[in-house]
Chains A and B, each alone.
Chain A
Amino acid sequence: MSRPTPRRSPLGAIESAQPRPQTAQLSERPFLTHINLRADPADAEALAAIQQVLGLQLPLTPNTTAANQELLAAWLGPDEWLLLSQHHRSDSLVTNLQAALTGHVASVVDISAGQTVIRLSGPSALDILARGCALDLHPSVFPPGACAQTLLARAQALLIAVDDTPTFDIIVRRSFAPYVAAWLQDSARPFGLHFPTSDPA
């Protein structure tokens, strides 16, 4: 019963062909651990317990992230964070957090299978995103480490500025992933970016 079962990401872990210079590359980062964490930011003890488990302090400033080697925490709301990790298994992270938060009002929910990460990286990444995102993502406004929940075309998305290549991680709900990928592909046409997409329907 513990035989591993095949997992399927919404985009089949697509990866664009080697980018031409001055364009961008797009790839799915499938099967990361995604945990939705809710806790009272005024509950210092709870925050400390979380820090103990995660090895980092939850970001309390809106639209920022905190990260270490194993994990990234993104601010989603005044009492809500997304934990993203390639390193931690979701079940053990949930168990550890829940154990640490016993007696506190908090919520730890595994949503790993419900969303995916699309990474867009390269000199044209900003121009491509600007086709569907109304936010000002200029590095003076949205530097690496910034995050924002917003609309990308007609889908809700969490954007994270990763580095100054620039690289963006775009976190979308699973069922919206084909639409968002198709949108980005279309937006990228003027920049010579091509990659396979799964056919949404």
Chain B
Amino acid sequence: MLLIPCPWCGPREDDEFTFGGEADIPRPADPAALTDEQWADYLFMRDNRRGHHREQWCHTAGCRRWFIVERDTVTNEILGASIYGDSP
């Protein structure tokens, strides 16, 4: 069980949350201008980083806000959480 620190509601158990994958993958401004490879990179390619990982979580059973968690994928230690729009 992971305690996930919702920036709004405080730490809650992980079953209140939905995982949203790696963060910081902005949607391309003009998808039509991309090659198939560039689009596939946006669509499918993820870093699957060992160590510090920025990822999206939604407090589904709580305030319904999406936010960013920084987690160590080796130790599962959560290093921090931030609200969208705040500087990381």
Interface residues of A (CB under 8 A from B): 62-63, 76-78, 80, 134-135, 148-151, 156
Interface residues of B (CB under 8 A from A): 8-10, 12-13, 15-16, 61-65
Q: How far is the CB of A38 from chain B (nearest CB, A)?
A: 11
List, in ascending order, chain A residues with CB within 8 A of B64's CB: 76-77, 80
Given contacts A134-B13, A150-B16, A151-B15, contact A62 B8 (CB under 8 A): yes
List, in ascending order, chain B residues with CB within 8 A of A80's CB: 63-64
List, in ascending order, chain B residues with CB within 8 A of A135's CB: 12
Q: Is the interface of A mostly helix, strand, loop or mixed?
A: strand
Q: Is the interface of B mostly helix, strand, loop or mixed?
A: loop
- Whether the pair A148, B8 counts as a contact (CB closer than 8 A) is no
List, in ascending order, chain A residues with CB within 8 A of B10's CB: 62-63
List, in ascending order, chain B residues with CB within 8 A of A151's CB: 15-16, 61
**Most chain A beta-carbon contacts within 10 A, residue among B15, B61, B64:** B61
- Whether the pair B15, A78 counts as a contact (CB closer than 8 A) is no
Given contacts A62-B8, A77-B8, contact A150 B63 (CB under 8 A): no
- Whether the pair B9, A63 counts as a contact (CB closer than 8 A) is yes
Given contacts A78-B8, A148-B9, A150-B16, contact A62 B63 (CB under 8 A): yes
Q: How far is the CB of A107 from chain B (nearest CB, A)?
A: 14
List, in ascending order, chain A residues with CB within 8 A of B16's CB: 150-151
Question: In the complex, A29 Cα to B2 Cα: how many Å?
Answer: 35
7 contacts between A and B (CB under 8 A): A80-B64, A134-B12, A134-B13, A135-B12, A148-B62, A150-B16, A151-B16
List, in ascending order, chain B residues with CB within 8 A of A149's CB: 9, 61-63
- Whether the pair B61, A76 counts as a contact (CB closer than 8 A) is no
**Most chain A beta-carbon contacts within 10 A, residue among B10, B15, B63:** B63
Question: In the complex, A62 Cα to B15 Cα: how many Å?
Answer: 20
Which of A63, A77, A150 is in CB contact (< 8 Å) with B61?
A150
List, in ascending order, chain A residues with CB within 8 A of B15's CB: 151
Question: In the complex, A120 Cα to B33 Cα: how many Å?
Answer: 58
12 additional contacts, CB 8 Å, given A62-B10, A77-B64? A62-B8, A63-B10, A76-B63, A76-B64, A77-B63, A78-B8, A134-B13, A135-B12, A149-B61, A150-B16, A150-B61, A156-B61
